[in-house]
Amino acid sequence: MAEEGERIVRPKRIFINSLDSYTGRNIGKYLSTCVAGASLEEAEEGAEEEENQSVHDATGGVPKQGHFQVVGTVAKSPDKKLNFPVETYVVSNRDELLNHLLESDVIIYSITEELSQIEEASWAVSALHTEIENFDNQKLFILISSAMTWARSKPLDPDDPEIPFTEDDYRRRKCHLNFKDHISVEKLVIKMGKSNKGKFSTYVIASGVPYGAEEGILHTIFKEAWMGETPALSIYGDGQNIIPLIHVSDLASVLQNIVDRRPRTHYLVAVDDSVHTLEEIVKCISTHLGPGKAQKVSKEAAFLNKELTQLDIDHLLVNLRMEAVFLKENFNINWVSQTGIVENIESVIKEYKQTRGLLPIRICILGPPAVGKTTVSKLLCKHYKLHHIHIKDVITEAIDKLERLVKSPPEEEEEGEEGPETWQELLDSVKENMEQNGGRLDDVYVIRFMKEKLKSMPCQNQGYVLDGYPKTYEQAKELFTSEEGEEEEESRSKAPHFDKTITPDFVISLDASDEFLKNRVINLPESTVAGTHYAQDRFLRVLATFRELNTEDETVLNYFDEAEIHPLHIDVSKDDDPQYKDIIKQITEEVGEPRNYGLTPEELAELELKQAEESLSREAERKAELERLEAEEEAEKVARWEEWNSRLEEVKRQEHEMLEAQSVPLRNYLMKNVMPTLIEGLNECCKVRPDDPVDYLAEYLFKRNPQIE
């Protein structure tokens, strides 16, 4: 039993609509880790004194009531179960939903993503208002609305349009034409909370565009940058429009403060301190995640982007300055990104990649010549959508890039970036070095170009398959050892400090005997061998060199062992399959599932088409096989029928011959002993013409019977 004066506090239950949506999932995940009353640890300015008394214990301190219990609705049973809510509901009717709302202490409805939630939020706050008298304790209803309800508000001072809007100006707000329903719900929620604040308090949050985690409305820009399929990200319009933003975790922290504090102000603006234009946001994302370039296009071009919805376009084109004065003065917010996305872009990108599982896969394929490194590398690149890194391609690409930079330097040079003179000098030295070495390039240049390639954004985003390089311990050391802090690290330990951003995660060593490799090269077509290192004499030299480099203690495989990246050895000679199916299977089992966006709509359509064609082909084959079997069965049936008829005729013939043979004695007997008397009797009967010929004939035969005579 509880001691006298001790009060058992029930965990606070928070209902969130659409837990499987972007905002619902991330807000719910955040609140599920929060302890009730934690945001009250600092000064409680701006909180209602009467309401705050209910969350203080008898000693006046803040009670630690345990973590919030998060519950909520989902659109359908999720494939992957959410691990943070206590309960999730797939609601079929409003009565059932109302029961769940009445069981909760705090009800949070977000109408920023799904338009269908607008009508449900209106119903929910109205239905709860009608049940006020039945409440066991005070309930809070919090509506997360959009700053788009301020989009057409007139400037506070026409002479100074840079003055931001605050919570105090909410009565003057004018909404975007597509957000009239949002502002209607806002007004309804505020109205419903005025009649009985002791039992039912309502709050409205005008939220900036949420970003962070999966990135929400900004996801299309992040995805385009990560994919790297376009030379420049698009800035719609002049790009000078200011977009109010807030990190989704900071928005969740605002909700936590409202639940704990229950402030007097019931309409709140939730934005960070940044004043970023669309151009600044896009350029920042492009620089740190994408191709590094951005270009301005018309606003109408946004509608041609299939990834963008009307809701996304409205938010990206809004021009609105807002300041969350009340939050900064009265709330204790544990800011994740108070200064905005541009200043915190690195942490935002890191969170984006981790949340969506967009982590690079770095693979190195090693082995002797003709073992199949390039073939396996290309197959892995296709499977995992990685970049194929081959030494010849890297050198060619680097030289082409230098020639382009020399001919047409970029208009905007970043601070500290090399100029045309440096590029020309490097290009000349590279060409001179290749001429002196018979077309080969020294390691110092190769490693420089390789590092630049591995540090490029595509390789950092998706990953790579390094084909047959490095070849020696020294090359691996020069390529993968980190330059920063190298001396300090080596002074503490003999092991080198590895640059984890470019060092491969998986090393595959394809093995085969010399005899197997020689036979493989001998059997190659002449057209394939001509002009390559597969020519007999050259191949033997290359193979001998490879064996020499891999017999000493310091081999490239030893380097990876020291880095605790233990190579996977695969014997190619055990299964000489030109498609390398078993080898690819072994590697994919080691590496795991792809870490990307999966198939594109075009690839998905192509796959579905291919599957449909294969299905039709299988159906045609099945139908042809069925027709063939039916034809064979019919032919066999006709053959059996003909054979049966033939045998039946033979049996009839044999029976006829047997009967003929058996009838000869009887016929002879009849001709000798019966027929003469019978003919005489018939003749006599014809002469006499008796009244009963049969009786007369019988009597005649009886009298003339040879046995009687």
Low-confidence ranges of the chain (pLDDT < 50): 1-8, 43-64, 415-416, 485-494, 709
CATH no. for residue 411?
Answer: 3.40.50.300
Q: Which residues contact 24 (CB under 8 A, 6 or more apart)?
A: 16, 17, 18, 72, 110
Residues 475 and 408 in one domain: yes
> What is the spatial distance between Cα 275 and Cα 296, in angstroms, rounded to a whole number?
20
Residues 256 and 396 in one domain: no
pLDDT at 571: 92
Residues 421 and 521 in one domain: yes
Strand partners, 389: 466
- Tell me the one-letter amino acid at 43: A
Q: Is residue 1 part of a domain?
A: no
Residues 546 and 693 in one domain: no
Q: Which residues contact 428 (CB under 8 A, 6 or more apart)?
A: none
Q: Is residue 4 part of a domain?
A: no
Q: Which residues contact 86 (CB under 8 A, 6 or more apart)?
A: 13, 69, 70, 71
- Helical spans, DSSP H, in 54-177: 94-102, 116-130
Between the alpha carbon of residue 522 and those of residues 367, 368, 507, 541, the distances in Å are 19, 16, 28, 15
Q: Which of 590, 612, 628 is at the close of a domain?
A: 590
Q: Which strand (E) or helix (H) includes residue 389?
A: strand 387-390
Residues 506 and 623 in one domain: no
Residue 542, SS3 per DSSP: helix
Q: Is residue 595 part of a domain?
A: no
Residues 586 and 666 in one domain: no
pLDDT at 537: 76
Residues 256 and 388 in one domain: no
Q: Is residue 489 part of a domain?
A: yes
Q: Is residue 258 part of a domain?
A: yes
- Beta strands (DSSP E) in 170-287 are 200-207, 209-211, 233-236, 245-247, 267-270
CATH no. for residue 143?
Answer: 3.40.50.720
Residues 105 and 153 in one domain: yes
Q: Is residue 708 part of a domain?
A: no
Q: Is residue 552 part of a domain?
A: yes
Residues 532 and 571 in one domain: yes
Residues 494 and 567 in one domain: yes
Supply the pTM of this predicted model. 0.80
Q: Which of 590, 616, 647 is at the close of a domain?
A: 590
Q: Which domain holds residue 62?
A: 13-355
Q: Which strand (E) or helix (H) includes residue 371?
A: none
> What is the spatial distance between Cα 307 and Cα 55, in angstroms, rounded to a whole number?
46
pLDDT at 498: 82
Residues 162 and 309 in one domain: yes
Number of domains composing the chain: 3
Structure tokens belonging to residue 70? 């998060």
Q: Are 204 and 265 in contact (CB under 8 A)?
A: no
Residues 284 and 380 in one domain: no
Q: Which of 590, 613, 636 is at the close of a domain?
A: 590
> What is the spatial distance between Cα 608 and Cα 602, in angstroms, rounded to a whole number?
10
Q: Is residue 637 part of a domain?
A: yes
> What is the spatial distance between Cα 66 and Cα 74, in angstroms, rounded to a whole number?
25
